[in-house]
Chains A and B, each alone.
Chain A
Amino acid sequence: MSKAQSRQMTGARMVVQALKDHGVDVVFGYPGGAVLPIYDEIFQQNDIRHILVRHEQGAVHMAEGYARSTGKPGVALVTSGPGATNAVTGLTDALMDSIPLVVLSGQVPTFMIGTDGFQEADTVGITRPCTKMNWLVKDTSKLSDTIHQAFHVATQGRPGPVLIDIPKDVQFATADYTPPESARIGHYQPRTKGDPEMIEALVEMIETAERPVFYTGGGVVNSGPAASRLLRELVEATGFPITSTLMGLGAYPASGKHWLGMLGMHGLYEANLAMHGCDVMINVGARFDDRITGRVKDFSPHSRKAHIDIDPSSINKVIRVEVPIVGDVSSVLEDVLERWVARGRKVNREALAKWWAKIGEWKAVKCLSYKPSTKTIKPQYALERLEALTKGMDRYITTEVGQHQMWAAQFLGFEEPNRWMTSGGLGTMGYGLPASIGVQIAHPEALVINVAGEASWLMNMQEMGTAMQFRAPVKQFILNNERLGMVRQWQELLHGERYSHSWSESLPDFVKLAEAFGCKGIKCSDPKDLDDAIMEMIRYDGPVIFDCLVEKHENCFPMIPSGKPHNEMLLGEADTQGVIGAKGAVLV
């Protein structure tokens, strides 16, 4: 029957058929009046699993977790009006972090559009700036083509979220279904192959560099496993140091000998100083985000820069580069390696040895050291223990947003791409719990841990219901300082220690909360008990809420204060007096 070129069916059935044809096995969603025909079709089949969420924002973050951990597009299904508006945060998050998503929303029937009908919202209008592309389908005969095009757009070029708004009468009406092979998907075909002359120029830069650094980002992960493999090959062969953004962790292994650790506002001393002092910077799939550059005027002042990015608008947006290469990371790296090998695998070994010696001095600073305690659990200690006890396991980590996120990035090591899911660009508190469920659904046997702060975690805690219903044994590792830690840190550093609304009173008892959801709660406040408690969490066959009571006033270091360049990092409490001027305070 799949041989048939076209078949008559309802719009609702087309949706399900198209999802199957694109290999979708899971849909995260929430039903409502305007999507009932699609839900009726979902009921009558077994190929696609539907995960019923507790809030549409959760559905989109789950789809993100699914997408980022598998490399496949995530799919969410929401109803009209509030269903669609609740999805907006997730869509924006996915747009900022280039996560491929296909979100299907119901809409009031076409003849009611514009009448302020019940649960009507201008969904394509609202989501236009937070999707890569969106469509309102007014005619069932165009529905299958649109869905096929949506998958194409979401996954090709720089990935991103797309949305298809489907009025209810379009779901009921029948038309011919076009299979993906014969669909018209439009002209969108971004360039993936890098310009040979630019690649030659980059190879020349590699050959002569005295103080080089690879600066890699989420684009390497998005490009697929080949990109990580080629990056590793290039780094090993050249012997150049490598650092990565928050989004790119795992593309190069944390245990690799050329690894400098993460860079940026809370990045490692050696990584940031290498960026500041390099003479050749090779940006692979990163976008010179403000968390990375600090003060743009003083960003890496003595380097020539190459930038590999599939999105031409990322190049020269913030930082002017000498060698721009528009293309897919894996394709470009393959060409770079091929040319560099063909030209004799040259690097300036002598200068490179000096550069590594300099980096060694920076590493000796041991910027991640903190004052240990035997009385309270330091958040850094909690993550060190989590790392030690889970290393080598089939492990996926998600995070919420704030101090715990930065500590997780500093203290957990990632050996493979697609193992680290975090909200980088948008910084969405409430991302981690639903994302962890999305990851767990995609990898049922794996250990999935959401490293959370208690404030972020509460933002989407209703999704524990989803974890229970679908037996997703996610581990919620909450570093509970009873504070909005990052807000508190900024208030200490630049608002005269006036802690305006940065602590939470009336926090729930997380153990009882766990019991209320029917899962396991663990509370730990003594460093001596921590290892056993973590092991108990890992061994428990089901979701766990782990309430880890940590030091309340710990600050996250190193830190580049807003408006400062890379070489003016704060390494600890002693450095913090009066460091952020009025100009810096304006920045975020």
Chain B
Amino acid sequence: MSPLNIKKGSTSHSAYDLRDPHAEVIEVHTLAVLVDNESGVLARVIGLFSGRGYNIESLTVAEVDRTGHRSRITVVTTGTPQVIDQIKAQLSRMVPVHEVHDLTVDGPAVQRELALFKVAGKGEHRIEALRLAEIFRANVVDSTLESFVFEITGTPEKIDAFGDLMRPLGLREIARTGVAALARGV
């Protein structure tokens, strides 16, 4: 018989995935998990990752539907294709989980993170920091004679790059929100 007459994606675990399931390559995936906004739900999701030895690179969570009591958890994780599939299956079967979307394979998605950078310095360093902030379209949200707090939004890579540039200019503190992501289009 030809096993290939099975429609791709006809179960949650199609063996006819185009990715090589045996590949040992580590992939980075952004998952959006829609959950009931009830006490303990975040602990449950995080407990799954720690209990089964999965990685969390970034995690954000907030209520997105007040009337429906729904929260959206965006989690960036890494693993082999098999591990990623297992993470999605484990998340999907949790009682308070409504939907799991893999924004990395479902199609193009926008990913954004917000970060605050406190940079202290005088003279040339201060001017250079301000100039670079303009290039990165970062906003100054606090300023004293000796410091700035910049607010920057972008991909995690852009925020990393901005941090690298600020470091020699007197970087003191960083606060990052973690990634929020949505699929493009409707």
List the interface of chain A (C-beta within 8 A of B): 124-125, 128-129, 132-134, 136, 153, 157-158, 186-188, 190, 195, 197-198, 201, 204-205, 207-208, 304, 311-313, 315-317, 320-326
Q: Which of A128, A198, A323 contacts B44 (CB 8 A)?
A: A128
Taking the closest CB of chain A, its distance from the CB of B37, in whole angstroms, is: 13
A129-B51, A201-B6, A316-B21 known; A208 and B95 CB under 8 Å? Answer: no
Q: Which of B13, B22, B39, B98 contacts A187 (CB 8 A)?
A: B98
| Residues of chain B with a CB closer than 8 A to A128's CB | 40, 43-44, 47
A198-B10, A320-B21 known; A312 and B15 CB under 8 Å? Answer: no
Q: Is the CB of B15 within 8 A of A136?
A: no
A136 to B51, CA, bound (A): 21
| Residues of chain B with a CB closer than 8 A to A320's CB | 15, 21-22, 82
- B184 contacts A by Cβ under 8 Å: no
| Residues of chain B with a CB closer than 8 A to A153's CB | 95
Q: Which of A134, A197, A316, A324 contacts B7 (CB 8 A)?
A: A197
- B104 contacts A by Cβ under 8 Å: no
Q: Is the CB of B15 within 8 A of A124?
A: no
A158 to B95, CA, bound (A): 11
A205 to B98, CA, bound (A): 34
Interface-central residue, A134, A157, A198, A205, by most chain B CB under 10 Å: A198
| Residues of chain A with a CB closer than 8 A to B144's CB | none
- B139 contacts A by Cβ under 8 Å: no
Q: Is the CB of B10 within 8 A of A133?
A: no
Q: Which of A316, A317, A323, A326 contacts B3 (CB 8 A)?
A: A323
B13-51 Cβ-contact flags toward A at 8 Å (1 or 0): 111000001100000000000001001100110010001
- Which stretch (B83-91, B108-116, B155-163, B172-180) binds chain A? B83-91
Taking the closest CB of chain B, its distance from the CB of A194, in whole angstroms, is: 9
Nearest A residue to B36 via CB reads A186
Interface-central residue, B1, B11, B90, B95, by most chain A CB under 10 Å: B95
| Residues of chain B with a CB closer than 8 A to A313's CB | 86, 89-90, 92-93
- B67 contacts A by Cβ under 8 Å: no
Nearest A residue to B43 via CB reads A128
- Please name 5 further chain A to chain B contacts, defined as beta carbons within 8 Å, in addition to the given A128-B40, A136-B40, A313-B92, sorted by A numbering: A197-B5, A197-B7, A313-B90, A316-B86, A320-B21
Interchain Cβ contacts under 8 Å between A and B, 18 examples: A124-B40, A125-B43, A128-B44, A129-B47, A132-B95, A158-B93, A190-B93, A197-B6, A201-B3, A201-B5, A304-B3, A312-B13, A313-B86, A313-B89, A315-B13, A316-B21, A316-B89, A326-B12
Q: Is the CB of B90 within 8 A of A133?
A: no
Helix, strand, loop or mixed for chain A's interface?
mixed
Taking the closest CB of chain B, its distance from the CB of A206, in whole angstroms, is: 10
| Residues of chain B with a CB closer than 8 A to A325's CB | 11
A324-B13, A326-B11 known; A198 and B6 CB under 8 Å? Answer: yes
Nearest B residue to A311 via CB reads B93
A484 to B1, CA, bound (A): 50
A157 to B13, CA, bound (A): 17
| Residues of chain B with a CB closer than 8 A to A157's CB | 93
Q: Is the CB of B10 within 8 A of A195?
A: yes
A124-B40, A312-B92, A313-B92 known; A322 and B15 CB under 8 Å? Answer: yes
Taking the closest CB of chain B, its distance from the CB of A208, in whole angstroms, is: 6
Taking the closest CB of chain B, its distance from the CB of A165, in whole angstroms, is: 11
A132 to B44, CA, bound (A): 11
Interface-central residue, A158, A321, A324, by most chain B CB under 10 Å: A324
Taking the closest CB of chain B, its distance from the CB of A229, in whole angstroms, is: 26
| Residues of chain A with a CB closer than 8 A to B82's CB | 316, 320
| Residues of chain B with a CB closer than 8 A to A133's CB | 95-96
A197 to B47, CA, bound (A): 35
Nearest A residue to B89 via CB reads A313
A128 to B5, CA, bound (A): 41
| Residues of chain B with a CB closer than 8 A to A324's CB | 11, 13-15
| Residues of chain A with a CB closer than 8 A to B85's CB | 316
B71-91 Cβ-contact flags toward A at 8 Å (1 or 0): 000000000001001100110
A191 to B47, CA, bound (A): 25
Taking the closest CB of chain A, its distance from the CB of B153, in whole angstroms, is: 34
A326 to B5, CA, bound (A): 18
| Residues of chain A with a CB closer than 8 A to B86's CB | 313, 316-317
Nearest B residue to A304 via CB reads B3
Taking the closest CB of chain A, its distance from the CB of B165, in whole angstroms, is: 43
A205 to B36, CA, bound (A): 41
Q: Which of B13, B40, B95 contacts A186 (CB 8 A)?
A: B95
Q: Is the CB of A197 within 8 A of B10?
A: yes
A313 to B7, CA, bound (A): 20
Q: Is the CB of B12 within 8 A of A312?
A: yes
Nearest B residue to A307 via CB reads B13
A320 to B3, CA, bound (A): 14
| Residues of chain A with a CB closer than 8 A to B44's CB | 128
Nearest B residue to A157 via CB reads B93
Q: Is the CB of B15 within 8 A of A321?
A: yes
Nearest A residue to B1 via CB reads A204
A121 to B11, CA, bound (A): 41
A125 to B51, CA, bound (A): 13
| Residues of chain A with a CB closer than 8 A to B7's CB | 197
Nearest A residue to B82 via CB reads A316
A325 to B6, CA, bound (A): 11
A195 to B8, CA, bound (A): 12
A321 to B51, CA, bound (A): 25
| Residues of chain B with a CB closer than 8 A to A158's CB | 93
Taking the closest CB of chain B, its distance from the CB of A428, in whole angstroms, is: 19
Instruction: Report, nearest first, the 5 A-B pairs whose CB atoms are least far apart.
Output: A313-B89, A204-B1, A133-B95, A312-B12, A312-B89
Taking the closest CB of chain A, its distance from the CB of B79, in whole angstroms, is: 13
A157 to B40, CA, bound (A): 22
Q: Is the CB of B15 within 8 A of A188?
A: no
Nearest A residue to B14 via CB reads A324
Nearest B residue to A125 via CB reads B43
Taking the closest CB of chain A, its distance from the CB of B66, in whole angstroms, is: 18
